[in-house]
Structure 1
Amino acid sequence: MTSTLDRPPSRRASRRKKPRRGVLSVLGRLFIILGILVGLYGVYELFITDVIAESDRTEVATQWRAEQAPVDDGIGAEYRDDFPVVEGDGTLGMLHVPSWGDDFEVPIGSGDGADVLDAGQVGHYDATQPIGAMGNAGLAGHRTTHGKPLREVHHLEQGHEIVVESADHWFVYKVVAKDIVKPHQSEVLDPIPPFEGATQGRYLTLTTCDPIFGITDRYIVWAEADYWTPKSEGLPPALAS
């Protein structure tokens, strides 16, 4: 046993350790900065993109409305034959979902690129059939961020109505099936959708990310055409209540 104190480190040893402490200090600061940047990006994605997309969406909807004739206040008839078809580029019309509120309407753009989806719209897959045609018309939209037009998609149930408004017509679809699939399962957009009991018909398919704050899967809602109404006759019964 000794009564002497531990020998203090030499000045040379102390000098050798300083660079290591300096590197650790720099790394620590870098990690702090990185954490701040990640946090700011999260705020941007979750909140700022909504503000930007809402502004873009309102502008598109206002411009489209200005180009349309006023809709008659009456209630139009339900037609189940000789469906018209929505074709063209740009804004194809408006998506309405009565169960999501009377004021819910989102522009439907041509294509599923970022220029459409990140502007708060839903986009029509160019490779799918036109709205109103025999086959399957696919629509994509964000569930979180960028205006999240399809955030409430999981609340849709069988029998719920989905309405597409074009320049001249209303198309009323009813939900018939739902599923959660992997992103590569593009067969959900086949002309005859891959749900049990599906036959040849006029379908509308909504696709969005799942879970709500994830992108690992895709939430799918299939709806089948019920009837159409000319806008010249007024509103469809689905929107008249």
Structure 2
Amino acid sequence: NANKYIDATAPWVLAKSEDTKPRLARVLYNLAETLRICTVLLQPFMPATCEKIFAQLGVDDSLKTWDSAAAVGSMPANATLHKGENIFPRIDTAKELAELDALEAAQKAAAQAANAPAEEPKAEAAAASAELIGDHEEEISFDDFCKVELRVAEVRACERMKESKKLLHLTVFDGERERCILSGIAKWFAPEDLIGKKIGIVANLAPRPMMKGKYVSEGMIFAADTDVDGGCSIAFFPDNTPAGARIH
């Protein structure tokens, strides 16, 4: 409806005449207020992105509440907008296809390397590996495996938690939306080690309330146990790997 409103009012035409400047001001105000209300409603799904939009709209905390979304016309008439980064840039189709081709080539190369004959492991390494492997899970069918949705996600925010020394609070973008994931890796990784990185997640894991329901974790990241006494390693994907790419 906002797009239709822009087409109907043609603000670029209103800007050409001093006589229509008052009408232009009203049109721009209506559009800014519409953006504010939509951003309030989107906060549970895109918290970090919504904060960027609020910053560009120049609104204070009182205009970010649920109640404020029901009051059209709450923004000050003299509100000042702030130009910032392009929050939703247009997708470069050719670039995205090239990155997908590169990802496919990398996966094929990794598969070939994994299938290459390996040297016989040393006795000590074999013994340590057996201890680390431990018990096996029950065998599952291929159909069962296909029910697990594995995707690449971009870590957009990460912070330590006051409530737990073990957990990190990650905000990741899965190609469609931002989601919260709580992960017990705080002992081995600092937030700055993860922000901006591409990681693998289980995308269709049922949401899990944690910390007495204060948080809801919406997925699980890939992390490997690196030794029997503790230790953790994360497989990072190249920066040009698209967020949301399916992992097979």
Aligning the two structures, in what range does the TM-score lie when normalised by the shorter sequence? Answer: under 0.3
TM-score (norm 1): 0.23
* Structure whose residues are more often strand by fraction: 1
Q: Which has the larger radius of gyration?
A: 1
Which of 1 and 2 has higher RCO (CA within 8 Å, sep 6+)? 1
* Structure whose residues are more often helix by fraction: 2
